[in-house]
């Protein structure tokens, strides 16, 4: 008898498949912040048991995209000034820590690839792709810390922030100018290439602070509206 007795490897469950599909649609902006996820309606439309949908929604809650409210049930997360500030503060700490020393040739190659992807994607004018490539560039920087646990933690921050950026920028025009998106990252990329750790940290901090202020302004405008 071993510790693995009775353990059976199973394929991805239906609930996980539904959770993955809903997650993709949430991140793409198909649902509005604060919108209810009606389990019965989803189950009826997909032709599956409501219990399966409830399990999928619980998985989304663990992933940080859904929360449960009294008398409302499952709702899509909504950005607040506090959560936005916390997300960007965490990003700043992680990225400046990753840039505390010049990147190795291997680490630089990963960041260069992500930056090149951002340059390419911005010409598409596809908001979802640009947001994803932007955040992937910053994830490549954090990956220089060499910690899978930190990468997983950062992925959670990125997932939440990606949804907020998609929701808040739905009526903004900032992604219509691809050159502007790339140029905002150029000082940071140049400092990283130069191996100037202190300048890279300074540029990363400034870049994150500028974007945090922008998101806060957009959020304030949405709240006033």
What pLDDT score does 144 carry?
Answer: 98
55's tokens? 């399990």
The least confident of 102-111, 126-135, 183-192 is: 126-135
175/201 Cα distance (integer angstroms): 25
What pLDDT score does 2 carry?
Answer: 53
Q: Can 14-76 and 81-224 be said to share one CATH topology?
A: no
Q: Is the pLDDT of residue 97 over 80?
A: yes
Q: Is the pLDDT of residue 123 over 70?
A: yes
Percent of the chain whose pLDDT exceeds 70: 90
Contacts (Cβ under 8 Å, ≥6 apart) of 220? 81
Name the more confident of 178 and 147: 147
**CATH numeric code, 81-224:** 1.20.120.530
Q: Single out the residue of 61, 8, 27 nearest to residue 53, CA to CA.
A: 61
Q: Is the pLDDT of residue 12 over 90?
A: no
86/150 Cα distance (integer angstroms): 16
Q: Is the pLDDT of residue 40 over 50?
A: yes
Burial of 114 per CB tally in 10 Å (0-12, 13-18, 19+)? buried
> Residue 33 gets which letter from DSSP?
T
60/175 Cα distance (integer angstroms): 28
Stated pTM of the model: 0.83
Q: Is the pLDDT of residue 136 over 90?
A: yes
215/213 Cα distance (integer angstroms): 6
1/148 Cα distance (integer angstroms): 33
Residue ranges per domain, the chain?
Answer: 14-76, 81-224
Q: Within a 13 Å sphere around the CA of 71, how many CA atoms are in the beta-carbon half?
A: 0
Q: For the segment 65-88, what is each residue's pLDDT rounded down to a tens digit?
A: 899 988 888 999 888 999 999 999
Q: What does the pLDDT average to over 149-154?
A: 96
Contacts (Cβ under 8 Å, ≥6 apart) of 96? 201, 204, 205
What pLDDT score does 3 carry?
Answer: 52
Q: What is the mean pLDDT of the chain?
A: 89
What pLDDT score does 5 carry?
Answer: 52
14-76 under CATH 3.40.50.2000, yes or no: no
């Amino acid at each position: 008898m071993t510790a693995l007795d009775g353990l059976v490897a199973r394929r991805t469950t239906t609930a996980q498949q539904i959770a993955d599909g809903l997650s993709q649609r949430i991140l793409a902006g198909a649902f509005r912040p604060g919108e209810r996820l009606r389990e019965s309606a989803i189950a009826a439309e997909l032709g599956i048991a409501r219990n399966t949908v409830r399990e999928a929604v619980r998985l989304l809650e663990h992933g940080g995209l859904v929360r449960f409210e009294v008398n409302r049930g499952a709702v899509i997360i909504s950005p607040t000034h506090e959560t936005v500030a916390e997300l960007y503060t965490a990003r700043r700490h992680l990225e400046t820590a990753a840039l505390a020393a010049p990147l190795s040739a291997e680490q630089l190659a990963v960041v260069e690839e992500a930056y090149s992807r951002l340059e390419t994607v911005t010409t598409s004018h596809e908001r979802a792709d640009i947001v994803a490539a932007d955040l992937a560039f910053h994830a490549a920087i954090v990956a220089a810390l060499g910690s899978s646990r930190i990468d997983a933690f950062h992925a959670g921050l990125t997932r939440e922030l990606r949804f907020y950026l998609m929701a808040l920028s739905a009526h903004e025009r900032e992604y219509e100018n691809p050159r502007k998106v790339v140029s905002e990252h150029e000082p940071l990329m140049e400092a990283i290439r130069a191996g100037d750790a202190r300048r890279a940290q300074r540029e990363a901090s400034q870049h994150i602070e500028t974007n945090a202020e922008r998101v806060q302004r957009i959020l304030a405008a949405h709240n006033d509206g």
